[in-house]
């Protein structure tokens, strides 16, 4: 039998030859155009001071170094309850359930909620966390063309009215930066008696009167069965909540395996999330600056290689894995990432660029000029 270490080395070498080898890197002071820190909160000194102050103000017994266990054993706390209650109210939801990451939230929700005999209709460009949840689900899975309502209707028409149907989308898509037609999807889910699940990873913090997300901004909270809000992007932190009814929350506590079998977030983490929740409504200036940067960026893009996104996620298309890597490397003063096949479809390789409220006009122009 082949030595396991050699087998691992051979598999890695095969990936290198295919141009698919992944490795970690540090930004090293380069101008950041690849993170999802849309409002600049990850390094905000005012927020950092608030996080430190709020944690120190907690009772001594609440300031443990660790959570000590999963939430169903010893890791649950009044601090988590407070955060979930306030987070739900902020987002216009009956309840919120905290997960350690957006990946865990999506896996737990999608793998456990739709039942055997149900049908899940999912957009072709869903995030990997949703796709992995779908793979674990016992429900039937049907994929419709990206943001194509006609194709979705075509699939919906193939199932009888009594079939339980779920439609799963993202409000803002992570690779192309385009927006789901949420109002039209609500109309369809009502017509076909389906339920709608929306991943708001890239709209939470950015849209809404105080950063509550795109579903909230459009007044569709009551029409969406479940929303996932993540904290690793505009919130500048980590973790996620599933927003929905009390029945949904209690169901996930009982059946969502990533929740049941994960150690709870630490008190320091939960306290930081609560501080950020209190800080987020005051960030209208940052949200406005982000929108101004998006408009400025779009106004100064002249190459046909640019995508047509109107959000903070922008794309510069370069066909071929090696070509897109070389193009990204040529702009070495910027932290930008080539996205290659098979992460995206062959021929759709691109440099994914994310804009932040912290970017200056000079930085944006320099990046555009370096790529064009």
Active centre residues (catalytic): 36, 127, 170, 174, 199, 202, 233
Q: Which DSSP symbol is given to 59?
A: -
> Which tokens belong to 356?
């932040």
Q: What share of the chain is helix, strand, coil (3-state, %, to 5)?
A: 45, 15, 40
Nearest to 129 by CA among 147, 144, 108: 108
Pairing of strands 240-244, 226-230: antiparallel
Q: Which residues are CB-neighbours of 11 under 8 A, at least 6 positions away?
A: none
122, β-bridge pairs: 143, 168
Sole residue written with tokens 């105080």: 210
Cα separation of 370 and 89, whole Å? 44
User: Going by C-beta distance under 8 Å and a sequence separation of 6 or more, which residues neighbour residue 61?
Assistant: none
Q: What is the distance between the alpha carbons of residues 57 and 271, in angstroms, rounded to a whole number?
A: 10
- Using only the alpha carbons of the chain, give its radius of gyration: 21
Distance of CA 251 to the CA centre of its chain: 23
Owner of token pair 């949703």 = 130
Q: How many residues does the chain have?
A: 372
H/E segment holding residue 17: helix 4-17
């Amino acid at each position: 039998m082949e030595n396991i270490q050699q087998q691992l080395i051979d598999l890695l070498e095969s990936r290198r030859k295919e141009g698919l080898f992944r490795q970690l890197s540090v930004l090293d002071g380069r101008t950041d155009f690849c993170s999802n820190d849309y409002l600049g909160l990850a390094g905000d000194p005012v927020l950092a001071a608030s996080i430190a102050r709020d944690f120190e103000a907690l009772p001594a017994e609440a300031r443990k170094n660790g959570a000590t266990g999963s939430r169903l054993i010893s890791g649950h706390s009044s601090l988590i309850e407070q955060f979930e209650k306030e987070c739900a109210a902020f987002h216009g939801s009956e309840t919120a359930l905290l997960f350690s990451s957006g990946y865990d939230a999506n896996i737990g929700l999608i793998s456990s909620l739709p039942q055997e005999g149900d049908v899940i209709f999912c957009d072709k460009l869903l995030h990997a966390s949703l796709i992995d949840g779908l793979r674990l689900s016992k429900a039937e899975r049907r994929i419709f063309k990206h943001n194509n309502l006609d194709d979705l209707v075509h699939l919906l028409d193939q199932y009888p009215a009594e079939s339980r149907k779920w439609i799963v989308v993202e409000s803002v898509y992570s690779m192309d930066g385009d927006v789901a037609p949420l109002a039209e999807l609500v109309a369809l889910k009502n017509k076909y008696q389906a339920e709608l699940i929306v991943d708001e990873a890239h709209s939470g913090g950015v849209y809404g009167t105080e950063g509550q997300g795109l579903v909230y901004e459009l007044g569709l909270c009551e029409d969406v069965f479940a929303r996932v809000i993540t904290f690793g992007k505009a919130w500048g932190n980590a973790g996620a909540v599933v927003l929905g009814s009390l029945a949904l929350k209690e169901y996930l506590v009982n059946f969502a395996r990533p929740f049941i079998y994960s150690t709870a977030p630490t008190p320091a983490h939960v306290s930081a999330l609560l501080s950020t929740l209190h800080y987020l409504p005051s960030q209208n200036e940052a949200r406005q600056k982000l929108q101004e940067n998006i408009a400025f960026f779009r106004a100064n893009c002249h190459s046909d290689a640019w995508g047509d996104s109107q959000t903070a996620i922008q794309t510069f298309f370069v066909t071929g894995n090696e070509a897109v890597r070389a193009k990204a490397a040529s702009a070495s003063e910027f932290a930008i990432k080539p996205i290659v096949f098979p992460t995206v479809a062959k021929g759709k390789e691109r440099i994914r660029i994310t804009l932040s409220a912290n970017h200056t006009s000079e930085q944006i122009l320099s990046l555009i000029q370096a790529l064009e």
